[in-house]
Structure 1
Amino acid sequence: MPQEPPQIPLDEFDGFKTKFTEVSVNALGGDVIACSDDFFPAVYMRGSFGPNGALYDGWETRRHNPSYDWVIIKLGPKASHLDYCDIDTAWFKGNECPQSRVYGLLLSDKEFADPKLKVKANDERWEELLSTVTLGPDSRHIFKLNDRAQEGQWNCLKVLMIPDGGMGRFRAYGRPLPPKPLPSFPSADVEPINLLSPLIGGHVVTCSDANFSPPVNLLRSGRGIDMSDGWETRRSQIGRGKYAPGAPLEGQERKEWVIGKLGSSGNIQYVEVDTAFHPGNYPVATQIEATYHDGEEVPADAKWDVVVKKTPCGSHRQHWLAVERGLENNIYSHIRCSIYPDGGFKRLRIYGHPLAPGTKAAAPGPVIALPLTYEQFKPYGSVIQGFSLPTSSPKGVPVTTANQGTASKFHRLSVLPETEATISVQKADNKKVAGSAKVPTLQKATAPFSVIPLPTADIQSYNLLVAQSGSDGKLDASTLKAFVATAGQGVTFAEGTWYAPLNCGDFVSVGRSAGVQAGETVEANVDVYVPEYPQAAAEDALKVPTQTAQLNGHVANGVANGASGKPIQPVPITEKNWAKYGSLIAPGAQPAELTNSYPADKGAKTAIGVFRATPKVGLVRGQSFDIKLLERHPHTSQAFVPMGKGALADKGEEALAPGGTFLAVVAQAGSDGNPDPATVEAFLVPAGQGLIYNQGVWHHPVLMLDATVDLACIETQICNGKDEADPSDCELLEFSHPIAVVDVPAK
C-alpha cells in the first residue's frame, strides 16, 4: 500500500509560504465552477439551523456517499506551477471529510476566458497532483504536491471529498508563470502591466513590520473593502522601541518598508500607491527603490536606485508616481517601498514591461501623462478639487460643514499671494490629446495664476505638462511631469513654473491681472505619451430651463422681486440683470476684480476653496421655497465657479451625478442695513456660468437644484477653517418667518 504524503507543520509552512502565491483565492479570480453536492448551507452559525440542517462556513455534502464528492476550482492565474495545498476542516467536528485527493488540468486560453466555463469531473485531462491523504477534524492540513504538480502547468483543480462530509477551506499555493520577456523596449503605445501582480508571480519577500495586517495584502486586486485588507504597521515613536537608545535603529529616521519581487524583471514606468480605507493612519510619505538580483532575497549590500523620490501621501486616495527621469529604461527585479514614519496603505502596483536583463533602449522614453493628484502636483503649484469623503482632503487642508449642512467646504486649497485678484474667462484649445505627441514650447508663469475649466459637454479631461525652474531660472528638464486632469480639477501654477499651452476649452483664470500670467517662452520639443484613460463622465445638464408662460401655476411676468408680495419667479441670470449685485463669470463677460476691505493687521488671505454643494432638503422643483435666512460678507466679494463632472474610470474620484443648477437669491440692504424684503430677487445660474457677489450683498447661502456640484469659491477671509469663525468674515441673519417665497421652476 503506497505511503500517504506527510503533513507539513503549520509553523514550518508559515515560514516560507510568502515565496508562493495562493492561486486559488477568490481575490485573484479563483472560483468554484462545479461540484457534485452542496446540500448543506455554507455559513457557520453555531446552534443555528436552516431547512437543510446546521449552518456551517464551508462545504458540506450529504451522508452515505458510496464513492466520493468533488468540487472543481478554477485558479486565478492563467497558468501556474503548483507546490502546496492547505485542506482546512475548520468548524467540522465529527462531520469532517475523512480523506481527500487532488487533481489538476490546464485549460486552453479560450476555455479560461469563457465566463460560462464548464469542466466535467470525468474530463480525460485530469492528472493526480496529490494522492489520497487522511484528514482530521477542525484543523488545517498542509501537503506538498507531487513532482508533476511542481513541474507542470495548471489552472484548474478537482478536489475530492472521500467519501463525503465537510471541508472549511481549500487553498492551493504555487508559482504563476511570468509573461515572456519582450524582445526589445516597446513603443509608448504598448500598455504597461503590473509587474508586481501575483497573477504573474509577483510576491512579497520580506518586510520590517506587519503588526496589524500583512503586506501580502498590498498585491490584491481592486481597492479592498475596509482597513483590514491592506498592510498596516505598529506605531513608531521617537526614542522608543527599535529607535530607543541602544536599539538597532537609534537616531535613524523612522520608516517601515516592504520588499517585493517582480513576477518578471522589467523596466518601471510608474507606481500606484493606494491609501484606500486608511483615513487616519496613512503614511506621511512614501519612497520607492528598485534593484536587480537573480535570487529571491536581496543581499544587504545591494545597490538600490531611488525610482520615486520621497513624496507626500494623502488619505483614502490613489497616488500615481512617475519614475525619475533617466531611470525609466533600467531593468529591475525587486522593489522596496518605504513609508514614513509608519502607518498603512491598501495597494502597491508597479507598472512596466517584462524585459530580460541586458535589454537596451534606443532612446529615453517619453514623459507619461498620469492622473493628476494633489501631492504629485505640489512642486508646481496646487490642485483645486472636491472630494467624496472629507477625510480624503489633502493634509493641511481643513474641511468644515457649510451652508446649514448642505455642503462640505475644502478650505484654502490654493492660497493666492495677492489680496486682490482678477477673475476672467479665457479660451484655450479644446482638442483632446491621446497617444504620442510632441510639445514644442513651454512658457513660464511670471506670477501665480489659477485655471478652473468651465463645465462643458466637450471637455471631460485635459492635459498638463509642467516643469520647475532651476537655480538659474531656466527650465529644469529633469523635473518634467505630465498629467491628465479631469473636468472636476483646476490648478494653480506657482510662480516660475513652466507649463505647456492648455487644452481645457473655456476656463476661469484667477490671477494678478486678466488672462494667463505668461512670461518667457522656450522651445522644448518634449515627447509626451497620453494613455487613453477610459472616461467615467456624467453628462451635465448645461442649459437653463426655458422660463416662458407657466412656472408652477404662476404667470411669469419677468419681474423677479418681491415688491408685489407674490411668490418670486426666478429668472435666468444675465450680465445686465446681475450687475447691481456683482459680476457674471461666463464666456464673453467682462473681467472682474475680487475686492476686500480687511484691515492689513487682520491677516486675511485670498484663497480658492471648493464647496461640495448638495441639494437642500425642501428645495424641490415645482414647489415653493421659503427664504428664512440671508448672509453677507461685509469685507470681501465672493466668487463661485461651477466645476465639471468628468472622471477617469477607476482612477481617482468618482464622477458626480448629472445636473445641477445654482439658484441665487439676493436682496438689497434697507436703510437699517438689513435685507429689504421688497427687493428680494432670484436668479438661475446654469452649470456653465459662475457669479461674483459684491462686498456686502445679502444673499442666501448656496442653493443647488437637482444634483451635487463642486463650486470653486474665491474669497478673502480671516478664518482658515481650523480656528473659530471670525465675525468679520460673514454676517448671517435668520428670520422667524419667511421674508420671501420663491417658486422653484419645474423641469
Structure 2
Amino acid sequence: MAFEKVKEIIKESPAFTQLTDLAAERLGGKVLYATDDFFAEKENLIAPTRGIFITDKYTDRGKWMDGWESRRKRTPGHDWAVIQLATSGKITGFDIDTNFFLGNHPPHASIEAVNLESTEGITDWDNVAWKEILPKSHLDAGSQNFYECASDEIFTHLRLHIYPDGGVARFRVYGEVFKNWDAVSTSESIDLAAAINGGQAIACNDMFFSAMSNLIMPNRGANMGDGWETKRNRTPNNRDWVILKLAHQGLVDRIVVDTCHFKGNYPDSCSIEACHSATDNLENADWQMLLPQQKLNADFIHEFENKINKGQVITHVRLNIFPDGGVSRLRIFGKIVR
C-alpha cells in the first residue's frame, strides 16, 4: 500500500492521525523556509486546528487565507517549504490539508525528508541530501489529503513541494517521537508522559469539547479549548477517564494536574491509576492506585508528591475525573528504569 492515497471516510480519519503530529507548532515545530509566501505566511502550515475562512477579509496583497499560499507562478519550477520537526521521529502518515483552498490549491505535492544534527550554516536547501518519502501525488481542493509513509527511517526535517504553486492550509506529520534514551540518566527526573518525550494519549471515554492529546502538550494551556474536556454527565457517581502511554517505563516521584482556564467546569476531584504492560491492550491490565482521589480547584496548578504511592515501575497511567469537566495539562514526573 506504499504511497497509495488513503480513502477519506465521513467523520473518520486514518488510524495514524491518532499519533503525534511531529511538525506541530505547539510541540515546537518550525517552518524554516519557503520559496514564496506572497499571499499567506508559511508559518500557518503548522498552526493548530484546521484553517478557517473569513469572507470579507483582505490584505494589501489580496484575499486573506489561513494557510501557506504562493503567488501564481509565471516562471519555470514550483514552490516548496522546509519544515523542522519538533523532535526527530519515525513518520507514519501525512495530512496535506487544502481546507478552503478551492480555485487556488496545488493539484499535486511531494515530500522529501532528511536527518540533520544541525541546520547551522545551511544557506542552500537544494544541496541537502533529501530523500523522497512521498512521490508526486494528487491533491483534492478543500480537503484533507491523507497519505501513508512507507519509510521507517528517523527524520528531523521535511520539504513539502507543491506543483506548481498555490495554497495549503495545514501540513500534519504523524508519527512516533524518537528519543535517545541511552543519553538520559536514570537519576534525572523528566516528564514521562510529555508528548515531546514520546508520551501518547491512547484512549478515553469522552472528549466531547477538546482532545485528550492536549493533556501532554508543552507549556500551560493557551485557553479553555487547549485541554481535555468532557461533556456534562448527569449520571450519579460518574467517572470520566483518559489513558496515557508513558514515553518510557519509570518510577513516578511527582504529579502535576493543571486546571488552567477551567473555572466553572473543572472536575470536582481526580485520581490516577497505573499499570505495567508490554502492549497497549489494557483490557486485563492490573491497575494499581498511583494517586488516591484528590480534591481539585478551579484554574489551579495542583502538585502532588507525598500522596503518591511510589515504588511501582509503570508504563501507562489512567487519569480519572469525577464527575466530569476539563483538565488542561497532566505531568507525570519520574525517573526512567532501563
TM-score, length of structure 2 as denominator length: 0.90
> Which residue is 1:538 aligned to?
none
How far has the Cα of 1:5 moved from its partner? 2.7
**What do residues 49-107 of structure 1 show as CA deviations (whole Å, max 9, x unaligned)?**
32222111111112134221010011111x10001000011111111011100011112
Secondary structure of 2:154's aligned partner: coil
> Which residue is 2:225 aligned to?
228
**What do residues 548-592 of structure 1 show as CA deviations (whole Å, max 9, x unaligned)?**
xxxxxxxxxxxxxxxxxxxxxxxxxxxxxxxxxxxxxxxxxxxxx
Of residues 339, 344, 361, the one that matches 2:326 is 344
Secondary structure of 1:310's aligned partner: strand
**Quick one: distance in 2 between partners of 1:11 and 1:330?**
43
**Quick one: distance in 2 between partners of 1:178 and 1:293?**
20
How far has the Cα of 1:10 moved from its partner? 4.7
How far has the Cα of 1:11 moved from its partner? 5.3
* Residue 280 in structure 1 maps to residue 278 in structure 2: no
Question: Contact conserved, 1:179 with 1:264, CA < 8 A, in 2?
Answer: no
Question: Contact conserved, 1:121 with 1:158, CA < 8 A, in 2?
Answer: no
Pick closer, same or farther for the CA change 1:183–1:120 going to 2, 3 Å.
Answer: closer
* Structure 1 residue identity aligned to 2:63: A
Question: Contact conserved, 2:196 with 2:217, CA < 8 A, in 1?
Answer: no
* Structure 1 residue identity aligned to 2:147: F
Q: Structure 1 unaligned runs (5+)?
A: 240-252, 357-747
**Quick one: distance in 2 between partners of 1:183 and 1:195?**
12
**Quick one: distance in 2 between partners of 1:340 and 1:70?**
48
Secondary structure of 2:214's aligned partner: helix
* Residue 132 in structure 1 maps to residue 136 in structure 2: yes
Of residues 245, 258, 270, the one that matches 1:261 is 245
Instruction: Tell me which structure has the larger Cα radius of gyration.
Output: 1
Superposition map of 1:726-737 within 5 A: none
**Number of residue pairs matched by the alignment:** 326
> Which residue is 2:49 aligned to?
none
Question: Contact conserved, 2:3 with 2:147, CA < 8 A, in 1?
Answer: no
Secondary structure of 1:122's aligned partner: helix
How far has the Cα of 1:134 moved from its partner? 0.7
Question: Contact conserved, 1:177 with 1:201, CA < 8 A, in 2?
Answer: yes
* Residue 49 in structure 1 maps to residue 63 in structure 2: no
**What do residues 264-289 of structure 1 show as CA deviations (whole Å, max 9, x unaligned)?**
11111111110000011111111111
Secondary structure of 1:351's aligned partner: strand
Of residues 255, 261, 266, the one that matches 1:271 is 255
> Which residue is 1:249 aligned to?
none
> Which residue is 2:288 aligned to?
305
Pick closer, same or farther for the CA change 1:331–1:11 going to 2, 3 Å.
Answer: farther
Superposition map of 1:205-224 within 5 A: 205-224=202-221
> Which residue is 1:176 aligned to?
177
Question: Contact conserved, 2:6 with 2:14, CA < 8 A, in 1?
Answer: no
How far has the Cα of 1:44 moved from its partner? 4.8
> Which residue is 1:9 aligned to?
8
**Quick one: distance in 2 between partners of 1:54 and 1:183?**
49
**Quick one: distance in 1 between partners of 2:17 and 2:70?**
32
Pick closer, same or farther for the CA change 1:164–1:302 going to 2, 3 Å.
Answer: same
Pick closer, same or farther for the CA change 1:15–1:304 going to 2, 3 Å.
Answer: farther
> Which residue is 2:79 aligned to?
69
Secondary structure of 2:100's aligned partner: coil
* Residue 20 in structure 1 maps to residue 19 in structure 2: yes
How far has the Cα of 1:348 moved from its partner? 0.8
Of residues 298, 302, 312, the one that matches 1:319 is 302
Secondary structure of 1:82's aligned partner: strand
Structure showing greater relative contact order (alpha-carbon pairs closer than 8 Å, 6 or more residues apart): 2
How far has the Cα of 1:225 moved from its partner? 1.9
* Structure 2 residue identity aligned to 1:272: V
How far has the Cα of 1:291 moved from its partner? 0.5
* Residue 30 in structure 1 maps to residue 13 in structure 2: no
How far has the Cα of 1:223 moved from its partner? 1.2
* Residue 107 in structure 1 maps to residue 111 in structure 2: no
> Which residue is 1:88 aligned to?
97
Secondary structure of 2:125's aligned partner: coil
Aligned-pair Cα RMSD in Å: 2.2
How far has the Cα of 1:261 moved from its partner? 0.4
Question: Contact conserved, 1:85 with 1:145, CA < 8 A, in 2?
Answer: yes
Could you tell me the percent identity over the aligned residues? 30
Secondary structure of 2:238's aligned partner: coil
**Quick one: distance in 1 between partners of 2:319 and 2:332?**
11
**Quick one: distance in 2 between partners of 1:31 and 1:202?**
21
**What do residues 1-43 of structure 1 show as CA deviations (whole Å, max 9, x unaligned)?**
xx96323425596362464101111010011111100111348
**Quick one: distance in 1 between partners of 2:90 and 2:11?**
21
* Structure 1 residue identity aligned to 2:160: V
**Quick one: distance in 2 between partners of 1:121 and 1:34?**
9
* Structure 1 residue identity aligned to 2:13: D
Pick closer, same or farther for the CA change 1:350–1:254 going to 2, 3 Å.
Answer: same
**Quick one: distance in 1 between partners of 2:329 and 2:238?**
21
> Which residue is 1:167 aligned to?
168
> Which residue is 1:123 aligned to?
127
How far has the Cα of 1:308 moved from its partner? 0.8
Secondary structure of 1:27's aligned partner: helix
* Residue 193 in structure 1 maps to residue 190 in structure 2: yes
Secondary structure of 1:37's aligned partner: coil
**Quick one: distance in 1 between partners of 2:136 and 2:306?**
51
> Which residue is 1:543 aligned to?
none
